[in-house]
Amino acid sequence: METESKFFLTAQKFWKTVVDKETTVEKEKLLQQIEVYKRLLNIFHAGDYYFYVFNMHDTQFDIMSNSVENVLGYNSNELTTELFMDIIHPDDKPYFLNFEYKIVEFFKELPFEKVQFYKVQYDLRLRKKDGNYARILHQSIQIDYDEKNYYRTLSLDTNITHIKQDGIPCFSLIGLDSEPSYYNIQDKIFTKSFDLFTKREREVLKGIVSGKTSQQISCELFISLFTVHAHRRNIMEKAKVKTPTELVQKSLTEGWV
């Protein structure tokens, strides 16, 4: 328990560096805003997911969706931050602390007007209530902040155990609306990643990962079916994969979506 306490306290120290006061937000207002924010996290049908709002000042969950029980087996009331930290796979805990430290440092240096254009993404293993581990794709964005403080984040955790069984956790900071991204960050230096895909290809890729058909992508992007098929071929070639399943898997592991 002492080791777990130190682990939690270390993470708390990181989070406390970006907020020095508490703010009060009505839960109903947060819930109304969540559906809008969730679209920025590219919800797709790669697996079951749950979402939560994390209070940076209290280091507790303001909101935890009931769907967490479908993914991890815990009901929304029993999954506290302390328990969440406890069920991280022992081998993934150093990665978790490293990722959270990098996230804090990145957002502390990010200009205020750029905050809305970045989402965090990494994966790690969490122990379910039945004792088995699930690999979770964690995505988060800032939803309550000002020029000096980050009060709350919205996170969405998706079960990708069936897509990524092995490998070390991967961490990316993904820029939205043409902002530069930082994929598969391995050190403390944030190097802008070369964008493998064009803007339109990335839109098509998001549709593919979301499980949409070419016809659905065509209608949503207002482009012809022929153009969608051409983009799909280019995406597959650039990604160096042969099947849509391989494309989805690589997109998740490389942080392309």
pLDDT per position as a tens digit, 24-77: 877 777 777 777 777 666 655 567 899 999 999 999 999 999 999 999 999 999
pLDDT score for 93: 95
- Which phi and psi (to 5°) does residue 255 adopt? 75, 35
The answer to whether residue 193 is domain-embedded is: no
Our count of domains for the chain comes to 2
Distance, in Å, from the CA atom of 85 to the CA atom of 106, rounded to the nearest integer, reads 22
Instruction: Determine how β-strand 150-159 pairs with β-strand 49-55.
Output: antiparallel
Q: Which of 112-116, 178-182, 198-202 has the highest mean pLDDT?
A: 112-116
Burial class (CB in 10 A: 0-12, 13-18, 19+), 92: buried
Question: Which pLDDT does position 58 carry in this prediction?
Answer: 92
Q: Could you tell me if 162 and 51 lie in one domain?
A: yes
Same domain, 108 and 170: yes
- Its pTM stands at 0.83
Query: Mean of the per-residue pLDDT values for the chain?
Result: 88
Same domain as 37, residue 142: yes
Q: Which range, of 36-50, 102-116, 139-153, averages the lowest pLDDT?
A: 36-50
What is the mean pLDDT of the segment spanning 73-92?
95
Nearest to 118 by CA among 170, 50, 190: 190
Same domain? For 132 and 203 the reply is: no
Decide if 36 is inside a domain. yes
DSSP 8-state secondary structure symbol assigned to residue 204: H
Do 207 and 128 belong together in one domain?
Answer: no
- Alpha-carbon Rg of the chain, whole angstroms? 18
Whether the pLDDT of residue 228 is over 90: the answer is yes
Question: 168 and 209 in one domain?
Answer: no
On the CB side of 97, CA atoms within 13 Å amount to 15
Spatial CA neighbour of 155 closest among 86, 103, 191: 103
Look up residue 52 and give its two tokens. 């939560």
pLDDT of residue 189: 60
Domain presence at residue 190: no
What local confidence, expressed as pLDDT, does residue 39 receive?
66
Does the residue 21 lie in any domain? yes
Q: pLDDT-based confidence at 211, cuts 50/70/90?
A: confident
- Mean pLDDT (whole number) for 3-16: 84
CA atoms within 13 A on the CB side of 196: 17
Domain harbouring 223, CATH code: 1.10.10.10
**Residue pLDDT, tens place only, 199-209:** 899 889 988 88
Q: Is the separation of the CB atoms in 122 and 170 below 8 Å?
A: yes
Asked if 67 and 137 count as a contact pair (C-beta separation under 8 A), the reply is: no
What CA–CA distance (Å, rounded) separates 249 from 72? 21
Question: Would residue 110 count as lying in a domain?
Answer: yes
State the pLDDT at residue 221.
94
Are 226 and 105 in a shared domain? no
Are 150 and 142 within 8 A, CB to CB?
yes
Q: How confident is the model over 132-137, as a mean pLDDT? A: 95
Q: Among 142, 175, 208, give the residue marking a domain's end.
A: 175
Do 142 and 234 lie in a common domain? no
Per-residue pLDDT reduced to its tens digit, 94-108:
999 999 999 999 999
249 inside domain: yes
Residues 207 and 97 in one domain: no
Residues 205 and 166 in one domain: no
CATH label of the domain that carries residue 55: 3.30.450.20
Residue-wise burial string across 195-212, b where 16 or more C-beta atoms lie within 10 A, e elsewhere? eebeeebbebbbbbbbeb
Residue 227 lies in a domain: yes
Amino acid making up residue 77 = N
Question: Which of residues 139, 159, 175 is at a domain's end?
Answer: 175
Q: Specify whether 98 is located in the same domain as 212.
A: no
Burial class (CB in 10 A: 0-12, 13-18, 19+), 127: middle
Instruction: Give the residue numbers spanning the domain of 214.
Output: 199-254
Note whether 170 and 204 are same-domain residues: no
Examine the fold and report which residue of 159, 175, 191 is the final residue of a domain before the chain moves on: 175
Go through the chain and tell me how many residues it has: 257
Residue 31 lies in a domain: yes
**Percent of the chain whose predicted confidence (pLDDT) is above 90:** 61
